[in-house]
Amino acid sequence: MNTNLLILPGLGDSGEKHWQIYWLRKFKNTTKLVQDNWDEPILNDWLNRLNESIAKINTPTILVAHSLAVSLVMHWAKTNNNPYIIGALLVAPADVDSPIHTPECTRNFSPIPTTKLQFPSIVVGSQNDEYATIERTAYLAEMWGSDFIDIGLKGHINSASDLEYWEEGQEILEQLIAKINLYI
């Protein structure tokens, strides 16, 4: 894979058993955004860190966001752009608009922007994700202009899902890269 990946973990960071960490180890052209406070996220702080990181990007890069970081990407994309950000893989977006599905500490990420993305993207959802219903995830994908993939019963698609290298996710990433290549 010639494209760079920028891994964007969600609330609490991605632990050692999370597929994002496996991908970080597997793909040499991958970096991970590190936030100062993973457990009590402040949208403006997280946005500033993302902006700092993206400002340094000068090669084609795909954002690989999980959970709360999907909202982060959407807040960034609403007011920012970088020609080197060529796509986004948005996995298990946490429904920060719903107090039923997400903790109070994520509420400052609400409302989730529904602006159409300016680059190709795929949203991946699970039918038994405790942080968002599959219907809400599909709706957000539609609003963002993203392709939507329902991967069945995989929970929050996190460490507890025990996906390791998440081969299915890698195939979805390849689909995204193929879609991006059509636009280049």
pLDDT(103) > 80: yes
* C-alpha triplet 106, 107, 111: angle, nearest 5°: 120
pLDDT(1) > 80: no
Q: Rounded mean pLDDT of 70-89?
A: 97
CA distance 61 to 115: 20
The predicted model scores a pTM of: 0.96
pLDDT at 121: 99
For residue 179, give both structure tokens. Answer: 């879609």
Q: What is the pLDDT of residues 150-180, one digit of tens each?
A: 999 999 999 889 899 999 999 999 999 999 9
Q: What is the pLDDT of residues 4-39, one digit of tens each?
A: 999 999 999 999 999 999 999 999 999 999 999 999
pLDDT at 184: 65
Positions of E strands within the chain: 4-8, 30-32, 61-66, 85-91, 121-125, 147-150
Residue pair 174/83 in contact (Cβ under 8 Å)? The answer is no
Q: Domains of the chain, with CATH numbers? A: 4-183 (3.40.50.1820)
Placement of tokens 């990946």 in the chain? 5
* C-alpha triplet 17, 62, 9: angle, nearest 5°: 35
pLDDT at 157: 95
- Judged on CB neighbours under 10 Å (0-12, 13-18, 19+), 86 is buried
